[in-house]
Amino acid sequence: MSKTISLAWTGASGAPYGLKLLECLLVADYRVYLMISSAARVVLATENDIKLSAAPEKATAQLKAIMPQTGELQVLGKDDWFSSPASGSAAPKQMVICPCSTGTLAAVATGMSNSLLERAADVVLKERGQLILVPRETPFNAIHLEHMLNLTRLGATIMPAAPGFYHHPKSIEDLIDFVVARILDHLGIAHTLTGRWGYNTPQQASQD
């Protein structure tokens, strides 16, 4: 399997975004290296009633039980320094942090690398890969904005979880799909999650 990507969930509100993105990546037949912070597990339990184990193998099995049986999923521990995302010689060239807490934003912007998640993001930056961060916070203070500006200058993409409404959403799922669709667009992954500006249906947009 040549299509690989690193995905991270952190402690910001917005666990449904991360779950939907994981589902779409697996449907697209990606190998996904998933990193989950301890705060992210709390948010996932709060927002989606999913209580993930702190043990990577058990968490992998739990997610596989509720995810499409395509692609390949491996949950990694925060100290799994011998995993592929930890090294520029083996790491995927693409990584998404969704949702991204302001704490993780700060750690990545300053190169902290105190966990595998932070190191994986640092590797993607140093290897000139594609790093997308999806912060879910409001309002932003000057510190948050400065970190976003620094990361943008380093080549990362800051994509706040700010859904649009021109597609006339009828449900929370429609709003989730809007944000995930924009992430997939930037990753170059085809989808039919939602329509585009000037189109009436997702199918029309995907055929263009």
Whether residue 101 is annotated as binding a ligand: the answer is: yes
Is 113 within any annotated ligand binding site? no
Residue 188, marked binder: no
Consult the annotation and say whether 77 binds a ligand.
no
**102 annotated to a ligand binding site:** yes
Q: Is 83 annotated as a binding residue?
A: no
The structure tokens listed for 80 are: 């799994």
* Residue 33 counted as an annotated binding residue: no
| Residue 13 annotated as part of some ligand binding site | yes
Strands (E) across 21-90 are located at 31-36, 72-76
Q: CA-to-CA distance for 82 and 147, rounded, in angstroms?
A: 28
Q: Is 88 annotated as a binding residue?
A: no
- The b/e string for 82-100 (b: 16+ C-beta within 10 A; e otherwise) is ebbbbeeeebbebbbbbbb
Say whether 53 counts as a known binding-site residue: no
Say if residue 182 carries a ligand binding annotation.
yes
CA gap 38, 33 in Å, rounded: 16
Annotated binding residues for dimethylallyl phosphate? 166, 182
Binding site: which residues? 11-13, 37, 101-104, 136, 166, 182
- Annotated binding-site ranges for FMN: 11-13, 37, 101-104, 136
